[in-house]
Amino acid sequence: MIAAPHTDHADAPQAMTDILGRVARELRETAASTDRLHCLVEGVAWHNVKEKHELIRSAQAIDAIEQTLSALSDFVSALAELAPRQWEVAGAAASRRVRLAELAARLADRPRSEVAESSGDSEFF
Protein backbone atom coordinates (compact mmCIF):
# COMPACT_ATOMS: atom_id res chain seq x y z
CA MET A 1 0.00 0.00 0.00
CA ILE A 2 1.30 3.45 -0.90
CA ALA A 3 1.34 5.98 1.92
CA ALA A 4 -0.36 9.31 1.40
CA PRO A 5 2.07 12.20 0.88
CA HIS A 6 2.84 14.36 3.91
CA THR A 7 0.52 17.36 3.99
CA ASP A 8 -0.17 20.07 6.51
CA HIS A 9 -2.03 23.36 6.65
CA ALA A 10 0.88 25.10 4.89
CA ASP A 11 0.18 22.95 1.83
CA ALA A 12 -3.00 24.83 1.01
CA PRO A 13 -3.40 25.38 -2.72
CA GLN A 14 -1.87 28.56 -4.11
CA ALA A 15 -2.72 30.30 -7.35
CA MET A 16 -0.46 28.98 -10.11
CA THR A 17 -0.12 32.54 -11.38
CA ASP A 18 1.41 33.60 -8.05
CA ILE A 19 3.83 30.67 -8.04
CA LEU A 20 4.88 31.36 -11.62
CA GLY A 21 5.43 35.01 -10.69
CA ARG A 22 7.73 33.99 -7.85
CA VAL A 23 9.68 31.66 -10.14
CA ALA A 24 10.04 34.44 -12.74
CA ARG A 25 11.32 36.83 -10.07
CA GLU A 26 13.91 34.29 -8.88
CA LEU A 27 15.09 33.76 -12.46
CA ARG A 28 15.32 37.53 -13.06
CA GLU A 29 17.31 38.06 -9.85
CA THR A 30 19.62 35.16 -10.65
CA ALA A 31 20.21 36.61 -14.12
CA ALA A 32 21.20 39.93 -12.54
CA SER A 33 23.54 38.12 -10.15
CA THR A 34 25.09 36.23 -13.05
CA ASP A 35 25.76 39.50 -14.86
CA ARG A 36 27.96 40.53 -11.94
CA LEU A 37 30.27 37.58 -12.67
CA HIS A 38 31.90 39.51 -15.52
CA CYS A 39 34.34 41.02 -13.04
CA LEU A 40 35.94 37.57 -12.81
CA VAL A 41 37.16 37.74 -16.41
CA GLU A 42 37.51 41.49 -16.94
CA GLY A 43 41.01 42.84 -16.72
CA VAL A 44 42.60 39.41 -16.41
CA ALA A 45 46.04 39.40 -17.96
CA TRP A 46 46.58 36.83 -20.66
CA HIS A 47 49.95 35.63 -21.79
CA ASN A 48 49.15 34.03 -25.11
CA VAL A 49 46.40 33.78 -27.71
CA LYS A 50 45.05 30.52 -26.25
CA GLU A 51 44.51 32.16 -22.84
CA LYS A 52 42.85 35.15 -24.50
CA HIS A 53 40.42 32.88 -26.34
CA GLU A 54 39.62 30.98 -23.13
CA LEU A 55 38.81 34.26 -21.34
CA ILE A 56 36.62 35.38 -24.23
CA ARG A 57 34.78 32.03 -24.16
CA SER A 58 34.30 32.38 -20.41
CA ALA A 59 32.88 35.89 -20.79
CA GLN A 60 30.58 34.69 -23.58
CA ALA A 61 29.41 31.78 -21.41
CA ILE A 62 28.49 34.22 -18.64
CA ASP A 63 26.53 36.28 -21.18
CA ALA A 64 24.74 33.19 -22.49
CA ILE A 65 23.75 32.09 -18.97
CA GLU A 66 22.48 35.58 -18.09
CA GLN A 67 20.50 35.84 -21.33
CA THR A 68 19.03 32.37 -20.88
CA LEU A 69 17.93 33.12 -17.31
CA SER A 70 16.39 36.42 -18.44
CA ALA A 71 14.57 34.71 -21.30
CA LEU A 72 13.26 31.99 -18.98
CA SER A 73 12.05 34.70 -16.59
CA ASP A 74 10.21 36.41 -19.45
CA PHE A 75 8.67 33.11 -20.52
CA VAL A 76 7.50 32.19 -17.02
CA SER A 77 6.11 35.71 -16.56
CA ALA A 78 4.14 35.31 -19.78
CA LEU A 79 2.81 31.96 -18.56
CA ALA A 80 1.70 33.64 -15.33
CA GLU A 81 -0.18 36.27 -17.33
CA LEU A 82 -1.85 33.65 -19.54
CA ALA A 83 -2.74 31.05 -16.89
CA PRO A 84 -6.28 31.10 -15.53
CA ARG A 85 -6.33 32.61 -12.04
CA GLN A 86 -8.39 29.69 -10.71
CA TRP A 87 -5.59 27.16 -11.36
CA GLU A 88 -4.15 26.18 -8.01
CA VAL A 89 -1.46 23.81 -6.80
CA ALA A 90 0.22 23.07 -3.49
CA GLY A 91 3.27 25.24 -4.08
CA ALA A 92 4.57 24.77 -0.55
CA ALA A 93 4.55 21.00 -1.01
CA ALA A 94 6.48 21.34 -4.28
CA SER A 95 8.98 23.71 -2.65
CA ARG A 96 10.07 20.92 -0.30
CA ARG A 97 11.94 19.40 -3.24
CA VAL A 98 14.14 22.52 -3.41
CA ARG A 99 17.29 21.87 -1.38
CA LEU A 100 18.13 25.55 -0.81
CA ALA A 101 16.04 26.52 2.21
CA GLU A 102 15.78 30.26 1.60
CA LEU A 103 14.88 29.74 -2.06
CA ALA A 104 12.32 27.11 -1.10
CA ALA A 105 10.75 29.54 1.39
CA ARG A 106 10.55 32.30 -1.22
CA LEU A 107 9.00 29.96 -3.78
CA ALA A 108 6.46 28.74 -1.21
CA ASP A 109 5.80 32.34 -0.13
CA ARG A 110 6.71 31.50 3.47
CA PRO A 111 8.01 34.16 5.84
CA ARG A 112 11.77 34.26 6.19
CA SER A 113 11.37 33.67 9.93
CA GLU A 114 10.22 30.10 9.18
CA VAL A 115 13.56 29.18 7.55
CA ALA A 116 15.84 27.28 9.90
CA GLU A 117 19.31 28.79 10.11
CA SER A 118 21.06 25.49 9.51
CA SER A 119 18.85 24.33 6.66
CA GLY A 120 19.80 24.41 3.01
CA ASP A 121 22.51 22.67 1.10
CA SER A 122 24.65 25.44 -0.39
CA GLU A 123 28.26 24.54 -0.55
CA PHE A 124 30.86 27.23 -1.04
CA PHE A 125 34.52 26.70 -1.68
- CB within 8 Å of 91: residues ≥ 6 apart: 14, 18, 19, 22, 107, 108, 109
pLDDT digits (tens, 9 = 90+) for 43-93: 777 777 788 888 888 889 999 999 999 999 999 999 999 999 999 999 999
* Confidence band of 7 (pLDDT split at 50, 70, 90): low
